[in-house]
Amino acid sequence: KFSSSHNSLFQSEVPTAQHRKRVSMKMILRVSALFVFCLFVMPLCGFNCSRTDVVTLTPWLAPVVWEGTFNPDLLDSIYQQQDISVAATVFAVGKYIMFLKNFLETAEEYFFVGFKVHIYVFTDRPDEVPQVKMAPGRQLTVLPVPSSNRWQEISARRMELIQKLIEERLQGHGKYIFCLDVDSKFHGRWGTESLGGLVAVIHPGYYWDPRSNFPYERRPQSRAYVAEEEGDFYYCGGAFGGSLEEVLLLAKTCRSNFEADAKEGIEAAWQEESHLNRYMWINKPSKVLSPEYLWQDFKSRNSEIHIIRFSGVVKNYAEIRPNA
């Protein structure tokens, strides 16, 4: 049924033969373009649409990366010629420092192996940062931050600190950055298949759910607001990244919106994750990573999950969060 605006154009709620023909042609062109994109364009970039059990392409033609949809050798050879470097941020504040050793050791085993990697650890306990042997071309920098009595404040400050890191240290010294949760560990390859301008990870808790179940911020007063009829996927706040330029813009925007909300006494439902989802609804990611890239250890593996690459470990929040 057409809306009132359509009625004024078509004079009727029943589509004319000419209109049906026009719609059919548009559908044919879209399907043809999608076919060409999947058959010719994506393979040149090391990707394919061979998986039929999962969504491998967004409506805006961004790849959704699953096991079996990319050629790791081809992608690595492309990026090795570019001599790229990848930064990663991780926040180990308060008792979360207990997860850092496992994070760093598994990152050495699986995260951009064979490439230049610089991990930045934000912590209020710099003396407790573990010594982990790193391969040549890989390094770690510890950045002290103040403690907090509320885990929500720790979460909220991430965007500010990521923004400052890029502006003050990384511009001109790298190309890509990923922002990852410390209470997680790597189990499998996380490499060049994940690179892109703006990169999001689909949340493992909601990827089978209808959009109405996504825990977006639903209060219109908040700058993280996503209306009931809006949204694409629900993305993780615990893993995102992309080019320095794109992540800087994301961090600045989310920080600004968060601070503006705070001045009005508003805290979004899931802090920076809510603001991130609002941002990525408006600014579509150029690459979307499947839940393989941030699974949850308390969940059993579903049949479409052929590999778990990175996962949040089982933990007792009452023990590690200051105000849980």
pTM to 2 decimals?
Answer: 0.84
Which range in 25-29, 33-37, 124-128 is most confidently predicted, on average pLDDT? 124-128
Confidence (pLDDT) at 4: 28
Confidence (pLDDT) at 34: 47
Tokens of 42: 């994506």
Give the β-pairing of 176-180 and 85-92. Answer: parallel
Confidence (pLDDT) at 18: 61
Answer yes or no: is 65 a known binding residue: no
Answer yes or no: is 251 a known binding residue: no
Confidence (pLDDT) at 28: 54
Query: What average pLDDT does the segment 260-267 reach?
Result: 90
Residue 62 predicted with pLDDT over 50: yes
Answer yes or no: is 183 a known binding residue: yes
Confidence (pLDDT) at 2: 22
Answer yes or no: is 36 a known binding residue: no
Instruction: State the DSSP string of 220-255.
Output: TTSTTB--TT--S-PEEEEEEEEEHHHHHHHHHHHH
Q: In what order do the strands lie in the sheet with 310-312?
A: 184-186, 310-312, 295-296
Answer yes or no: is 288 a known binding residue: no
**pLDDT tens column, 186-231:** 999 999 999 999 999 999 999 889 888 898 989 999 998 999 889 9
Phi, psi values for residue 265, rounded to 5°: 75, 25
Phi, psi values for residue 117, rounded to 5°: -135, 135
Instruction: State the catalytic residues.
Output: 273
Residue 144 predicted with pLDDT over 80: yes
At 144 the three-state DSSP class reads strand
Confidence (pLDDT) at 25: 57
Give me the sign of the Cα torsion angle 216, 220, 223, 228: positive
Residue 3 predicted with pLDDT over 60: no
Confidence (pLDDT) at 9: 22
Which residues, including other chains, have CB under 8 Å from residue 148's CB and lie 6 or more apart? 93, 94, 154, 157, 322
Confidence (pLDDT) at 222: 94
Classify residue 210 by burial, with Cβ atoms within 10 Å: 0-12, 13-18, 19+.
exposed
Confidence (pLDDT) at 215: 86
**pLDDT tens column, 146-175:** 987 666 677 668 999 999 999 999 988 779
At 196 the three-state DSSP class reads coil
Answer yes or no: is 203 a known binding residue: yes
Give the Cβ contact number of residue 75 at 10 Å: 18
Answer yes or no: is 93 a known binding residue: yes
- DSSP conformational letter for 25: H
Confidence (pLDDT) at 21: 57
Query: What average pLDDT does the segment 233-256 reach?
Result: 96
Confidence (pLDDT) at 17: 60
Q: Where are the beta strands (DSSP E) in the chain?
A: 64-65, 85-92, 116-123, 138-144, 176-180, 184-186, 198-202, 235-243, 287-289, 295-296, 310-312
Confidence class for position 40, pLDDT limits 50, 70, 90: very low
Answer yes or no: is 79 a known binding residue: no
Confidence class for position 309, pLDDT limits 50, 70, 90: very high
Which residues, including other chains, have CB under 8 Å from residue 288's CB and lie 6 or more apart? 58, 62, 63, 64, 65, 199, 200, 201, 202, 233
Whole-number Å distance between alpha carbons of 217 and 277 = 9
Share of the chain above pLDDT 90, in %: 67
Answer yes or no: is 92 a known binding residue: yes
Out of 20-34, 99-113, 168-182, 197-211, pick the least confident: 20-34
**pLDDT tens column, 78-97:** 999 999 999 999 999 999 99
